[in-house]
Structure 1
Amino acid sequence: MGESVTFTDSDRPVVLLIDAHPDVLHSLNQLLSLEPFELLSATCAADALSLLASRPVDLVMSAARLPDLDGASLLAHVHQAYPHTVRILLTGETELTLIVKAINEGQIYRYLSKPWNDEELLLALRQSLAHQHSERERLRLEQLILQQNETLKQLNASLEKRVAARTSELQQTADMLDLAYEELKHSYATGTEVFSLLANLRLPRAKQTNRQIIELVRTWCVSHGVDEASNRDLTMAAALYNIGKLSWSDSMMASPSDLLHSADRERYRAYATQSESLLMTLEPMKDAARLIRHHQERWDGSGFPDHLKGEAIPVGSRLLKLAVDFIELQKGLILERQMNSDEALLYIRKYAGRLYDPNMVEDFVSVCATYLHDVTLGDPNVKVLGTRELEEGMVLARSLNADNGMLLLNAGKVLNLPLVDKLIAFETMEGARYTLFIKVDKGVSPTT
C-alpha cells in the first residue's frame, strides 16, 4: 500500500503531463480524473516551461521524446529552476542513455515505462506527492521551530530588560527597606527572618522568641559543622516555626501553653501543621516546613501532630524543639512561671529521654553556654562601635537588628559611606542608638 495524504480543494496538487502525442495525454487525463489533482497538459518542452513559469507545479511527468527537447534535458532544467517540483520520466525507450541522463541530471523521483500499468502509475504519483507533502511539512516545521526559537530569544531578552527596569524602580522606591533588601535578594533564608517579624509583632517584646531561636540554631550549626543546605533549612524553620499562630487571639498568643484548655488547647496542638501548610507551596521551604511540622513531637511519642517516637523524628525537628523550648520557657510561653536560662537547661536535662533526644541534650547545653557567653564580645578581633564611629570598608561581625526586631544588615556585610549615612538617618528617625560589632584585623584599630 502507498502513502495516503488527504488534500483539500484549496491545496490540491498541480500535476503537469507532457507528451508529444495528444492521445497519450488524453489517456493519462482520463486515468487521473478521479484523483484529487489539478491536471495541466503540454505537447512540447516550450509549452511546459511556459506553464511552469506562470504558476507553481507540484509534479511534472514527461515523456522521454519531445519534438523540441528530450524529456531528460527538460527534467534537468526543471530540477535547476524548480528544485521542489517532483520529476517523473515516462519512457518507452529500451536504451538506458536517456534514463541515466534523467536520473543524473534531472534527479528524477522515478521513471515509468510505456505502455504503463495503471495501478503502478497511480501508485507512483500518489507516493511521490505524499513524499513531497511530507518533505514540505518537515521544512515548514523546521522553519516554524527556528522562528519560535528566535521569538523566544527576543521575548527572553525583552523580559530580562523589563525585570531589570522593574527591579531598578523598586530599589529607588524602597527608601527605608533598601538596607534589608540588599541582603534579602541574596538569601531566601534571610527573607524568612524578616517575615518572622509578623509573628513577633503580635507579641509584647518580652514574649518575642524568633530572633533568639534563630541565633541559637545558628550557633549549633556552626559548632557542629552543619552543611550549608541543612543550615539554611534549620534557620528558615527557626524563623517561621510559629507562623501558624498568626490567626490566634492576642491573649492566646501570650498565654503559656500548659494553661490552655479545650478548644484553645486543640488549636495549639494544630499550629505546627498549620505552619507547615502555609509554607509547603513554596518550593525552597518544603524541607524547612517538614522540620516545623515535627518540632513538637516528643522522644517518647507523646507529642504532636503525628506521635512520632525516637529516631523517627527528623534530627532537625529534635534540635528545633530543644531551641524553641529553651527560649519559650524563659519567655513564659510554656509554663506560667518564667525561667532563667539555668532553670530552662535544668528542665531540658530533666526531660531528656521523654521530651528530648537524650543523645542531643548535653551537646545542646554546651551550645547554649557558648550562645549565652556571646562569643563576639569575647573576641579580641571584634570591636563595639556606634554608627558615627563607622567607616567605609568595615565588616560586621554580627547581624544588626532595629529596635522592633527588623533585620537591617547581615553579619559579614562590608560597610560603605552611603550605607553608614542611611544607618545614621534611620537611627535618628527611630530615636534609637545602634551598637555594631565590627571585625578588625589584628593590630589595626577600627577607627584608623
Structure 2
Amino acid sequence: MVAKNLNTLLIVDDEENILRAVTRLLLEEDDIQVLTANSGSEGLKILQAHPDVALILSDQRMPGMTGAEFLQQAKSVAPEAIRMVLTGYADINATMDAINKGGASCYITKPWDDGMLVQTLTEGIQRYRMTMENKRLSALVQQQNAELQEWNKGLKSRVMEQTMRIRQQMEELRLSGEIATRNWQNTILAFSSAIGLLDPMARSHSSNVSAVAEESARKLLLTSEEVETVRVAALLHDIGKIGMEPSIVGKNPELLSDVEQAEYTLHPVRGQAVVDVVEGLRSAGQLIRCHHENYDGTGFPDRLAGGDIPLGGRIIAVADYIDGVIARMGASFTIASVMEKVKKKAGSWFDPELLSTIQDVATGHYIVLGQQSLHEEQVDPEDLCPGMVLAREVTSGTGLLLLNKGATLDAAKIHSLKRYYRLDPPAQGVFVFVPAGQTGS
C-alpha cells in the first residue's frame, strides 16, 4: 500500500522556538504538512499515529532521549521515512552516532541558513516520494513479470527477463541514490553478463576487454576516477546488443552484410541510452557510445577522429578488437600475430600512441589465461629474439627493475637488456614464455 502522507514532516526538538521557526519556514512551501513534538517519547507517539511520515527532523541534544536514541526507535516505527538530525558544531560525535545507529541520512548544523534548510528538507521529502513511487512501480513490474513466464523456454524470454531485472535494479539505483556499493557492482556485472545469453561464446569477452582496458588506463596515468569509468564502460560496452539478432551478435563484424551492418552500428548508441538513466553511469555511457569510432574518422556512430574521441574510448576500442581477434583465431592465436593485426590499423582505426602500452598489458593478460599451454625458459641475453614474451620481471644485479613480466621484446628492449647485463649483470638469464615442447633458442 502506498503511503498517503507523502508530504508530512515530523520535527522533534525540546526548544519551542526551534519548532516554531522551522514550521514557519515550511508554511511557505506548498502541500507540506508539519507535525511537531518537544521530546523523543512524544515523537514516538506521533509516529504510532502517523507511521507513513515522509521525513523526520530531530534535534540531537534533548533531555531524556537523545536524537540518536529517538531516531533508532523511530526507524522501526517508520522505516521508510527519511531521517535527519539537527545538531550544534560541538556534537559531531553524537551526530555520527545518530547517523550510524539511527540511520540519519544527513545532519544540519545550528545555526542554519533558512534557504539551505528548506531545500534540504524538501529534497528529502521528494526522495521519499520517489521511493514510494518506486515501490508502486516495482509492484507493477512484478505483475508484468508474470506475463513473461510463457517465454521461459526460449532464448528471447531469458534475455527479456534479464533485461527487466536489470532495468528494475537501475531504476532503484536512480531513485534512491544510496544503494550499497556491493549492489552497484552486482548491477554492473549483471549488465555485462546479459549479452552472454545471446552469444555464449562472448561470455568472457566483456571481462577480458575490461581487464586490459582498466590496466592500460592505469599505466597511461589516468586518474583513479577515470580508470574506474574505463573499467565500467568496458564491462558494459556491448550492452546495446541486447535485442539484436543472435546471428549478427556472433558474427565477425567485417563479414556482415549491408543490412546486418546497419543494425550492428546501432548498438553503441543503444548501449549509451540503456545506462543513461543512471547519473553515475553517464560518463561510462559516453565511452560506450564511441568505442567503435576510428582514429581516422571512419568509424561510427558519430565519425569522430583523433583527439575528439575520448581517451577511454580509444583504449576500449583496441582492447575490444584484440579480444575479438583472439576469439576468432581460437587456440591457434599468438599474441605476436594478434598485435601485428593491431599495428596494421595504427593511425587508421587506432591511436598509435596507445599501442605499446596496451600491447604489454594484453600480452600479460592473455599469457596468464593461456599458461597451461606455455612454459618458461631461461635464455641468455645474447639469444633473445624480437617477439619473445617475458615470463618474469627482469631486474639488474643491484635490483633495478628493467622490464615487467608480460612485456613483448623488440629490438630496442633487447639492446637495452644486453647493455644492462654488461653494466650491472644479474645472477641469472632472462625468463621467457615458449610453447610447450619448444625451446626459446
Give the TM bin, normalised by the shorter chain: 0.3 to 0.5
TM-score (norm: length of structure 2): 0.44
The structure whose Rg is larger is 1
